[in-house]
């Protein structure tokens, strides 16, 4: 079960964190993985780890907010592999602040990556999937798509857009055998979280990490690998009856 043998999977923002965990797991399940990241060095590190583990992967630098970059990346994938079976729109950036502490530049930056990036990735993948008879798109949303999260105005706005884009793609291409779902994580413990806390809360790292853990009623943050397992299911043939859905992975936040 959950094998991706013969499938070509493109994962954006896969140089670290959740994206790297998804790319690694997909390769372990026999997919040929294309790792896209704005940081090519990070993308190559992910690929090196995959190859060391016996998987098949390649790295490409790609700024998901740049239409030419995205189009070129997908053109190269098709030239090399002939198809795109899975797209995981994982690339994203964060922002902390209420509307009063969100500048126009902040909003534009979040929109460019978190919203436009998903749009450009899906827009590039859909025609390819139509030609080959189907495919799967998985977007990375957030529980901020579903509930109010304090001090996350701009971030929540973008992830709400990801949720509705997911539903729109699912309904528009259901009859063409293209499935589209999104994952809505609560707080996930990644290197980005550690770096952010160290930069903004120097000397209080342990206290702040505990606060982030306590936000989830289960008592801890999730792991990138746990998100990857859910991504694997949703992108596998075993989930062929599922489309247009938002899957929380939230440590009990939504039921508390």
pLDDT tens across the length of the chain (256 residues): 999 999 999 999 999 999 999 999 999 999 999 999 999 999 999 999 999 999 999 999 999 999 999 999 999 999 999 999 999 999 999 999 999 999 999 999 999 999 999 999 999 999 999 999 999 999 999 999 999 999 999 999 999 999 999 999 999 999 999 999 999 999 999 988 999 899 989 999 999 999 999 999 999 999 999 999 999 999 999 999 999 999 999 999 999 8
User: For position 107, what pLDDT does the model report?
Assistant: 97
Residues 213 and 122 placed together within one structural domain of the fold: no
Residues 39 and 77 placed together within one structural domain of the fold: yes
Residues 200 and 214 placed together within one structural domain of the fold: yes
Does the residue 254 lie in any domain? no
Supply 133's token pair: 């008879």
Does the residue 203 lie in any domain? yes
Q: Provide the β-strand partners of residue 88.
A: 11, 138
Residues 18 and 60 placed together within one structural domain of the fold: yes
Residues 27 and 143 placed together within one structural domain of the fold: yes
Domain of residue 208, residue span: 189-220
Kindly list the distances between the CA atom of residue 167 and the CA atoms of 14, 53, 94, 172, in Å, as whole numbers in the listed order. Answer: 24, 36, 23, 9
User: For position 256, what pLDDT does the model report?
Assistant: 85
Does the residue 3 lie in any domain? no
**Catalytic site residue 155?**
yes
Residues 175 and 66 placed together within one structural domain of the fold: yes
Does the residue 62 lie in any domain? yes
Residues 88 and 178 placed together within one structural domain of the fold: yes
Number of compact structural domains in the chain: 2
Does the residue 79 lie in any domain? yes
Please tell me which residue in 155, 173, 215, 247 is annotated as part of the active site.
Answer: 155
Q: Which of 82, 60, 86, 124 is nearest to 7 (CA)?
A: 86
């Amino acid at each position: 079960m959950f094998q991706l043998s013969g499938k070509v999977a493109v994962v954006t923002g896969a140089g670290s964190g959740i994206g790297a965990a998804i790319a690694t797991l997909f390769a372990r399940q026999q997919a040929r993985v294309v790792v896209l990241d704005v940081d090519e060095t990070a993308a190559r590190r992910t690929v090196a780890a995959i190859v060391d583990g016996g998987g098949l992967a390649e790295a490409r630098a790609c700024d998901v907010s740049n239409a030419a970059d995205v189009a070129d990346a997908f053109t190269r994938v098709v030239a090399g592999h002939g198809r795109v079976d899975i797209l995981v729109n994982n690339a994203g950036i964060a922002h902390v602040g209420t509307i009063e502490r969100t500048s126009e530049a902040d909003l534009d930056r979040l929109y460019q990556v978190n919203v436009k990036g998903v749009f450009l990735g899906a827009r590039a993948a859909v025609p390819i999937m139509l030609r080959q008879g189907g495919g799967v798109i998985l977007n990375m949303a957030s529980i901020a798509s579903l509930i109010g999260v304090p001090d996350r105005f701009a971030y929540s706005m973008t992830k709400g857009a990801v949720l509705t884009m997911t539903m729109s793609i699912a309904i528009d291409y259901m009859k063409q055998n293209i499935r589209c779902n999104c994952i809505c994580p609560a707080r996930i413990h990644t290197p980005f979280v550690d770096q952010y806390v160290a930069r903004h809360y120097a000397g209080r790292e342990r206290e702040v990490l505990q606060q982030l853990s306590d936000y989830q009623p289960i008592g801890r943050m999730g792991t990138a690998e746990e998100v990857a397992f859910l991504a694997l299911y949703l992108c596998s043939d075993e989930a062929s009856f599922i489309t247009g859905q938002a899957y929380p992975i939230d440590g009990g936040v939504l039921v508390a």
